[in-house]
Amino acid sequence: MPAAGKAGASALDVEGRRAREGLTTGEVQERTAAGRINSVPTATSRTVRAIVQANVLTLFNAVVGGCFILLFVLGQWRDALFGLSAISNSLIGIVQEYRAKRSLDRLAITQAATNTVIRNGARERIPSAGLVPDDTVVLAGGDQVTADLLLLGGASLEVDESLLTGESEPVPKMGGAVLLSGSLILAGSGRATVLRVGPDTFAYRLAAEARRFSLVTSEIRRGLGKVFVVITWLLLPTALLLVNAQMQDRGGWTGAFGSGRWIPAVVGAVAGIMAMIPLGLLLMTSVAFAVGGLRLARQKVLIQELAAVEVLARVDVLCLDKTGTLSSGSMVFDAVHAQGAFRAARWQPVLEWFGAQSEGGSTAAAIGAAFPAAPPLAERSAIPFSSARKWSSVTVGPESGAAGTWILGAPDAVLGGSPGCAAAHGEAAALASTGLRTLALAYLPDILPPDAGETGLPTTLEPVLLITFRERIRADAAATLDYFRRQGVTVKIISGDDPRTVAALARGVGFGNGAAYDARLLPGDPAQLEDIVDAQSLFGSVTPSQKRDLVRALKRRGHTVAMTGDGVNDVLALKEADLGIAMDSASPATKAVARLVLLDGRFERLPAVVDEGRRAISNIERVSLVFLSKTVYATVISVVCGILLLAFPFLPRQLSALDGLTIGLPAFFLALQPGGERYAPGFLRRSLAFAVPAGFCTAVCVLAVSALATGFGGHTRENAQSAATVTLGLLAAWILVMASRPLNGTKVLILAGMYAGLVLLFSVPLTRHFFRVDWPPPGLLALAVGVGLAGCAAIEGVGRFTRHRRARAG
């Protein structure tokens, strides 16, 4: 024999031995030592250390921390209260991102499972992580495929690949076919060799992109980020101006250091710097989102990232995967379509028998639900279903009233070879074109030949029935889709199922009457893809990567996209969407990348999520008006004092007291208020339209009172600071009143408590001493109140003007 022939025969002998006896212990150890095992790395792109660094080592935290430490070193701990807010912000950010990281680390395409393998000629059960290449795996119904396998000859399986492809129909697999990790064996048995393990498997590669760390795209977070960028650029030059001004006011740099007056100068500069940073705004935003998450948790909705409640409120395109979202994924009996002269008494017992066969899968279960089993059929022989022949049969005796052989299976396989079945075959094709799953029941008076499975069915079959099935539609699907349509949200159904099936299900929920677009015809050109996805609402035969591409095309068109799904085939699209929503039946991988999980699988929960998102956005917008106004007036006061070499009119502790009474505590309660209007884009623009003029007005009033008190009135620095505090308290309180409208009973109580707190601040000896405030002399108090009331009137005018302009724009 030639050398090449001998080598080929030797290789075949080795493969044959492995199929019979599996790997030896030595071969397993060799592959394991080389790292070729079925385990996958779980680390995301961000470590815990990176998350902590990203939330702690920021410019703002450096400024806040530096000022905090400086005041403590100088013994001015009473003026360092702002440090608590910075610590809270960092902790919330760390916890939020760590939760997202944990979800990604738990991402798993296949459940923790065990496998039966052949090793050393004997069967043994091992964890799925212990599989190595060339292992021989024994497969049976109910097993999960945990590595990519090559099915050996002679095997015949029914495989559910819906988690990977989105196709809900079982897929027949014969010897030589590849089984992908994440598949589920529905029926049949056989052996397979391991092709690929760990990171090389199809399921892992599909989920690799999903493991990339990212936070949900939040307009509020993005808008606040822009504000912080502007403040960052202003912070350093303003700080330098302010420090110099405070030193000059205390006798110049030399005089201030020589006399020790540099300490109060530094305290004044810190007050101006810290007032510019809206530390509490991030905290209140997180609080509003967290409360929304708690409210939704009571409704069995899990929020995996706080800002997700905001995103759904501004979604304008909702993409739905058919299976698990609009449908339950199970089949239900639709109807029987008689084709012959058989009475119900003859064929009904046969259907009852087929429906009682547990190995028949979901189709048999649907038949059994429609035709509950009566007394046992007098069965003489039966041929079980095989994906190769696509039919099963039962032969019964005359005592049953249905003597003969009955064959149930796919119309092409049962009716295709019988001339007398041509009409029934045509009707079956017509029914299938409507998206219904169709089976054919045929009758043979004689016993079926033993070799019918290999040679084919006799051509003398008589068609009896066509049986149609449809997917079970969720009871809440139609009403929920109608809700989104009323809210102006465009709904698109994107499924891996046959386009005809997708169209049929869409009609069942009242979603259009047209055909679904076949994704196999989608163009590769991005511009053409955008046109198609904008024009079409139904898509079938969509691959996982195409789902992602469709979502990307919608986002390029400026849409905010939410995507629902339950299979691994949805992972890439869920990750790409602005908001991923997983159902309760979703795979672990899908739940890991989704921002929102419907724990009880009720699609009707989504309107409540929209309402909660609107409440959060509405309340955060109110809160932002107050915080951004403070940032504006603090920046203006700091810049003016720095340029004109004026003393900063407040101590840090005085600003902390005002912040707590007119911003912090009231904003906390406002962030929890119910209600919320339909979302309109432009959160930051609307907030700044009021905050900038209101902040300028406040700064002018405070600077005027401070200048009149020290420059012309001859009052002490302490009296001037108290007068400026009175003026700022009145103005900041009115800004809060403007942000709280429309008022209700709860808001009135909040505002009344705020005004009472301001009075107590100046009246209680303990607070007067701690915060260094007192009632100014009568004349100065009248000036502070008069200027404050005039400023309140101006702020009222600003508010009315911005509301009128917004109403005209709307």
Residues 515 and 644 in one domain: no
pLDDT single digits (tens) 418-463: 777 888 888 888 887 777 888 899 888 888 776 676 667 888 888 8
Residues 654 and 791 in one domain: yes
Residue 600 has pLDDT above 60, yes or no: yes
pTM score over 0.85: no
Cβ atoms of 650 and 347 within 8 Å: the answer is no
Establish if 556 belongs to a structural domain: yes
pLDDT band at 111 (very low <50, low <70, confident <90, very high): very low
Q: In which domain, by residue range, is 372 found?
A: 328-473
Establish if 243 belongs to a structural domain: yes
If we measure between CA atoms, which residue out of 561, 565, 554, 562 comes closest to residue 592? Answer: 565
The DSSP letter of residue 144 is B
Q: What is the pLDDT of residue 269?
A: 72
Least confident of 152-156, 221-225, 373-377, 382-386: 373-377
Residues 592 and 554 in one domain: yes
Cβ atoms of 129 and 29 within 8 Å: the answer is no
Which of 456, 473, 490 is the C-terminal boundary of a domain?
Answer: 473
Residue 221 has pLDDT above 80, yes or no: no
If we measure between CA atoms, which residue out of 78, 85, 77, 84 comes closest to residue 627? Answer: 85
pLDDT single digits (tens) 155-189: 777 787 766 665 556 777 888 888 888 777 766 77
pLDDT single digits (tens) 237-279: 887 887 787 777 776 777 667 666 677 777 767 767 777 777 6
Residues 615 and 564 in one domain: no
Percent of the chain exceeding pLDDT 90 equals 10
Enclosing H/E stretch for 194: strand 184-196
Which of 539, 566, 601 is the C-terminal boundary of a domain?
Answer: 601
- Residue 382 sits in a domain whose CATH number is 3.40.1110.10
Which of 438, 455, 473 is the C-terminal boundary of a domain?
Answer: 473
CA 492/CA 536 separation, integer angstroms: 8
Residues 777 and 642 in one domain: yes
Residues 463 and 481 in one domain: no
If we measure between CA atoms, which residue out of 633, 754, 629 comes closest to residue 705? Answer: 633
Q: What is the mean pLDDT of residues 389-406?
A: 79
Establish if 606 belongs to a structural domain: no
* Cα 260 to the center of its chain, rounded Å: 57
* Cα 485 to the center of its chain, rounded Å: 21
Of the two residues 357 and 121, the one the predictor is more confident about is 121
Residue 150 has pLDDT above 80, yes or no: yes
Establish if 22 belongs to a structural domain: no
- Residue 244 sits in a domain whose CATH number is 1.20.1110.10
Residues 386 and 279 in one domain: no
Residues 465 and 584 in one domain: no
Establish if 200 belongs to a structural domain: no
Establish if 16 belongs to a structural domain: no
- Residue 572 sits in a domain whose CATH number is 3.40.50.1000
Establish if 60 belongs to a structural domain: no
Residue 746 has pLDDT above 50, yes or no: yes
Residues 761 and 633 in one domain: yes
Residue 651 CB: number of other CB atoms within 10 A? Answer: 23
Cβ atoms of 468 and 431 within 8 Å: the answer is yes
Beta-carbon contacts of residue 107 (< 8 Å; ≥ 6 apart): 42, 207, 210, 211, 588, 589, 592, 593
Q: What is the pLDDT of residue 529?
A: 93
Q: What is the pLDDT of residue 687?
A: 86
Q: What is the mean pLDDT of residues 309-323?
A: 81
Residues 774 and 788 in one domain: yes
Establish if 43 belongs to a structural domain: no
If we measure between CA atoms, which residue out of 792, 797, 713, 728 comes closest to residue 758? Answer: 728
Structural domain count, the chain: 3
pLDDT single digits (tens) 643-680: 888 887 887 777 778 888 888 778 777 766 766 566 66
Q: What is the pLDDT of residue 756?
A: 92
Residues 569 and 507 in one domain: yes
Residues 332 and 311 in one domain: no
Catalytic residues: 321
